[in-house]
């Protein structure tokens, strides 16, 4: 991990993916940001306040508003398209035939972009082999700068890599202090796949996380908030993250984690909080599979 500038603007940490593309370690999440005005304003606020990665998805049904927010943020800062990194994801109901390509084209249109920096297969259900090969083609055509996966557990990841050409650049999985994904990230590193955390703040559902003595002590020692400690822990462990907030003060707070370093002792105390317990669920859970597969689109 290195400290360098990504485009113009504030200094922030980025990581080089396995194909040489540089990705910011902190990005802005857009899940459940459904109010149009709030969505446009918060994406623009994120760009104004130093975020250079916007994490979108077909599933979130707000890509048109995210696109407006990106356009507004670029206009307000004078940044160019190539100064930011935009991710989208394809839902598995669209993995057959030309579904994956159609979804990517639709996302590009809604986001008002000529290319995407990263496209992920959202969950490993349905015909994800076919969808991956479609993504490989779009990657080679230059529509997408990097391709990756999301919610892939190690065995499925190894299987996908073993019988395809392009090794995923990123695996976006639920990761936070209570679900640190130690084994998963070891497997990702073995194949040079960059882990990226979704729900890095526990989706606001794990409030006790911020009252943990190890979190409070580190926050006091560095004059930071518990949320900043949670995010810094991930980034310092080499895990990128895409926190979400619609409040500008929190948008700023969640990005202001590059001016301090947790000590070895603090990292160890925080690592000990791991319960290896995902809140959102794993694809290997039949209940989760049933829930997502039967979810009305
Ligand atoms: P998150 O962990 O980012 O939590 C967001 C919530 O945390 C906010 O709604 C708010 O309640 C709280 N919060 C935010 N900033 C805070 C702060 N500074 N202090 C205290 N509380 C704060 O959860 P998320 O939105 O689910 O995940 C982040 C992003 O990850 C999403 O927006 C989306 O882009 C992505 N995501 C991907 C998947 C996937 O399957 N790939 C699944 C879920 C989310």
Q: What are the pLDDT digits (tens) for 62-97?
A: 999 999 999 999 999 999 999 999 999 999 999 999
Report angle CA 186, 191, 197 to the nearest 5 degrees: 55
The answer, yes or no, to whether any atom of ligand 1 lies below 6 A from the CB of 204, is yes
Q: Is the pLDDT of residue 1 over 70?
A: no
Q: Could you give the CA distance from residue 90 to residue 75 in angstroms, rounded to a whole number?
A: 28
The CA–CA distances, whole Å, from 205 to 208, 247, 274 equal 9, 17, 16
Q: Is the pLDDT of residue 178 over 80?
A: yes
Percent of the chain at pLDDT > 70 equals 96
Active site residue 129: no
| Active-site choice (31, 51, 60, 128) | 60
The answer, yes or no, to whether any atom of ligand 1 lies below 6 A from the CB of 288, is no
Report CA(14)–ligand 1 centroid distance (Å).
20
**pLDDT computed for residue 206 by the predictor:** 75
Phi, psi of 2 (to 5 degrees): -135, 155
Q: Give the mutation target among 151, 198, 241 for probing the ligand 1 site: most ligand atoms within 8 A of CB.
A: 198
Helices H / strands E in the chain, number of each: 11, 11
Q: Could you give the CA distance from residue 176 to residue 199 in angstroms, rounded to a whole number?
A: 7
- Which residue, among 125, 169, 131, has the nearest Cα to 147 in the 3D structure? 169
pLDDT band of 12, cuts 50, 70, 90: low
146 or 297: whose pLDDT is higher? 146
Average pLDDT rounded to a whole number, residues 120-127: 97
> In this predicted model, what pLDDT tens digit does every residue of 199-230 receive, in sequence order?
999 998 778 999 999 999 999 999 999 999 99
> In this predicted model, what pLDDT tens digit does every residue of 231-258 receive, in sequence order?
999 999 999 999 999 999 999 999 999 9
Report CA(110)–ligand 1 centroid distance (Å).
22
Q: Is the pLDDT of residue 10 over 50?
A: no
Q: Spell out the residues 6+ positions from residue 63 whose beta carbon is closer than 8 angstroms to its own.
A: 56, 57, 88, 107, 110, 111
Q: Assign 3-class secondary structure to 39-77.
A: HHHHHHHHHHCCCCEEECCHHHCCHHHHHHHHHHHHHHH
* Pairing assessment for the beta strands 170-174 and 144-150 based on DSSP bridges: parallel
Q: Could you give the CA distance from residue 182 to residue 61 in angstroms, rounded to a whole number?
A: 32
**pLDDT computed for residue 205 by the predictor:** 79
**pLDDT computed for residue 4 by the predictor:** 41
Q: Is the pLDDT of residue 188 over 60?
A: yes
**β partners of residue 173:** 197
**pLDDT computed for residue 63 by the predictor:** 98
Q: Please say whether the beta carbons of 226 and 243 come within 8 A.
A: no
Which segments within the chain are labelled E, that is strand?
Answer: 2-5, 11-16, 22-24, 28-29, 53-55, 85-90, 116-121, 144-150, 170-174, 194-198, 240-241
């Amino acid at each position: 991990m290195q400290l360098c500038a990504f485009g113009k603007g504030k200094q922030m940490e980025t990581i080089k993916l396995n194909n040489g593309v540089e990705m910011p370690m902190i990005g802005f999440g857009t899940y459940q940001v459904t109010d149009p005005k709030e969505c446009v304003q918060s994406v623009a606020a994120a760009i104004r306040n130093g975020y250079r990665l916007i994490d979108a998805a077909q599933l979130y049904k707000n890509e048109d508003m995210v696109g407006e927010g990106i356009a507004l943020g670029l206009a307000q800062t004078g940044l160019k398209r190539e100064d930011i990194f935009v991710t989208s994801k394809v839902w598995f109901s669209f993995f057959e035939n030309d579904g994956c390509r159609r979804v990517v084209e639709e996302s590009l249109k809604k986001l008002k972009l000529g290319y995407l920096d990263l496209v992920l297969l959202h969950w490993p259900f349905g015909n994800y082999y076919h969808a991956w090969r479609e993504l490989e083609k779009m990657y080679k055509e230059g529509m997408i700068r990097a391709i990756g996966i999301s919610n892939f557990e190690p065995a499925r990841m190894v299987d996908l890599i073993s019988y395809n050409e392009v090794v995923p650049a990123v695996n976006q999985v639920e990761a936070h202090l209570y679900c640190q994904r130690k084994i998963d990230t070891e497997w990702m590193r073995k194949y040079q796949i960059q882990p990226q955390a979704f729900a890095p703040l526990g989706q606001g559902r794990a409030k006790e996380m911020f009252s943990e003595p190890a979190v409070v002590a580190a926050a006091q020692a560095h004059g930071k908030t518990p949320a900043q400690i949670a995010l810094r822990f991930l980034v310092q462990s080499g895990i990128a993250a895409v926190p979400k907030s619609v409040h500008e003060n929190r948008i700023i707070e969640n990005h202001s984690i590059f001016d301090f370093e947790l000590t070895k002792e603090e990292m160890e105390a925080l690592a000990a909080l791991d319960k290896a317990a995902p809140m959102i669920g794993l694809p290997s859970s039949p209940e989760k599979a049933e829930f997502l597969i039967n979810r009305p689109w």
